[in-house]
Amino acid sequence: MPKKVLHRPLLSRLRPVTNGTIVEYACAKINLSLHVTGLRADGYHLLDSLVMFT
């Protein structure tokens, strides 16, 4: 089986942990709240949303 090659951007995000495992931090968008507030004329819903980006 060929050896997997990691690209530089991935290597820069990897953080070694003392027990030999590797932790990778991933960006995310977290929806803290989502409320449907109505219906638009085109059939889509009106939304109020509170999000956090990590």
Domain count, the chain: 1
**pLDDT at res. 24:** 75
**pLDDT at res. 19:** 74
pLDDT tens sequence for the chain (54 residues): 555 655 555 555 666 666 777 777 788 999 999 999 999 999 999 999 999 998
3 lies in some domain: no
18 lies in some domain: yes
CA distance 9 to 31: 27
**pLDDT at res. 6:** 54
Question: Whole-structure pTM over 0.75, yes or no?
Answer: no
**pLDDT at res. 14:** 61
29 lies in some domain: yes
Instruction: Please give the full DSSP string across 1-54, using - where no structure is assigned.
Output: -PPP---HHHHHHEEE-TTS-EEE----EEEEEEEEEEE-TTSPEEEEEEEEE-
1 lies in some domain: no
CA distance 48 to 32: 11
- On whether the CB atoms of residues 26 and 14 are closer than 8 A, the answer is no
Domain of residue 27, residue span: 8-53
